[in-house]
Amino acid sequence: MAIIDTPRAPAIGHLNTGVLGNFYSSTFGAVLAWYDRRATRNALSALSDRELEDIGLSRGEIDTLL
């Protein structure tokens, strides 16, 4: 099975950017987290039932994990 690695740039929120910068940083972080969950869900959905069973999951559990 392949491993998907999505490297990320350092968080912007650690810079002294003020309230507006923190807002954009947290929004950007939320979008990245959503995208990562979506990519994981799609990768798990692409597996066969046998492959899911090998890692201890069923097809119905995919949405509840993320």
pLDDT tens for 9-35 read 665 555 556 888 888 889 999 999 999
pLDDT at 9: 64
pLDDT at 59 over 80: yes
Q: What is the mean pLDDT of the chain?
A: 84
Side-chain-side CA neighbours of residue 47 (13 Å): 22
pLDDT bucket at 66, cuts 50 / 70 / 90: confident
Instruction: Give, as one character, the DSSP assignment of residue 65.
Output: H
pLDDT value at residue 48: 96
**Full-model pTM:** 0.64
d(CA 60, CA 40): 15
Burial of 45 (0-12, 13-18, 19+ CB in 10 A): exposed
Residue with tokens 């949405």: 63
